[in-house]
Amino acid sequence: MDKTGGSLFVALSLVVMALPLIPLCIFFVRKVQLTPVLNTLKMLCLFIFLQHLISGFIAPNTPVIQPIAHLVEFLLSFYLIKWMLANKQARDIMNMAMVSFLSVVVTVYAIKGIINYYGVIRAVEGLLLFVSVFIVLLQLIGNRQIVMINEAVFWIAGGILCNAGMAVFMEAITACDTGVSQQIQEEKKMVLLATEVIRFAFFTTAVHVAAEGKKEALWTGL
């Protein structure tokens, strides 16, 4: 990338690194009541902040960090989606799927190396998240008793759907051409960073909605 593109990449990386702090601040300032969904979201935001800090600025040229960090991020996101499902049997299936997938990935990394199948595993992670969160959205659509935009779960699901869908799309594009240039790789990173901005806009809205819901419940109880 040229100097301007490199500067834009660094600036966008700084913005994306800071974005997870916004919902965390809302959690702290507004004293949002932590349900299992919101508590997992809080952990996910904190982890993603640390992930961007380490992989982007503390140890940017350490290839091993990204696959491991994305695996942990996937597990937290998958666990978050599990809590958004109303059906207990569906949550049990999610638990088994999470353990099974983790076992397979650890085996592949141990035998084939962490870097070799990173792109494929990342695409599979994105596809699993996309399908799982789509089921959550169908569950919300089927519930006639709620207004979706007033539900934190809706905004969390939307953020994950956008991020996972773009991750799968970008991995599919770059996987089709084994001779992807460095410029294409940099552009791919820029697109994924831009998607992160959208994801945390959704997450921030979710926490704000949860805080407003708590305030409304307090006023109702007076």
Least confident of 40-44, 83-87, 147-151, 179-183: 179-183
> Cα–chain-centroid distance for residue 108?
23
Mean pLDDT for all residues in the chain: 87
pTM score of the predicted model: 0.90
pLDDT in tens, 30-65: 888 889 999 999 999 999 999 999 987 888 778 888
Question: Average pLDDT in the 122-128 region?
Answer: 93
pLDDT at 3 > cutoff 60: no
Percent of the chain beyond pLDDT 70? Answer: 90
Kindly report, residue by residue over 166-215, the tens digit of the pLDDT.
989 888 877 665 555 677 777 888 888 899 999 999 999 999 999 987 65
Structure-token pair, residue 56: 């982007």
Q: Which residues contact 35 (CB under 8 A, 6 or more apart)?
A: 83
Whole-number pLDDT of residue 222 = 34
Identify the band that residue 219 occupies on the pLDDT scale cut at 50, 70 and 90.
very low
Which pLDDT score is estimated for 93? Answer: 93
- Mean per-residue pLDDT, 144-150: 85
Residue spans of beta strands (DSSP E) within 153-196: none
What whole-number distance in Å separates Cα of residue 54 and Cα of residue 49? 9
Q: What angle do CA 67, 39, 78 make, to 5 degrees?
A: 40
- Answer with the residue of higher pLDDT: 187 or 84: 84
Here the contacts of 100-103 (C-beta below 8 Å, separation 24 or greater) are 101/128, 102/71, 102/75
8 vs 4, which has greater pLDDT? 8
Give 217's pLDDT tier (boundaries 50, 70, 90).
very low
pLDDT of residue 71: 95
Residue 163 — very low, low, confident or very high, per pLDDT cuts 50/70/90? very high
CA atoms of 75 and 10, how far apart (whole Å): 27
Rama region for 89: left / alpha / beta (φ>0; ψ in -120 to 50; rest): alpha
- pLDDT category at 145 given cuts 50, 70, 90 is confident
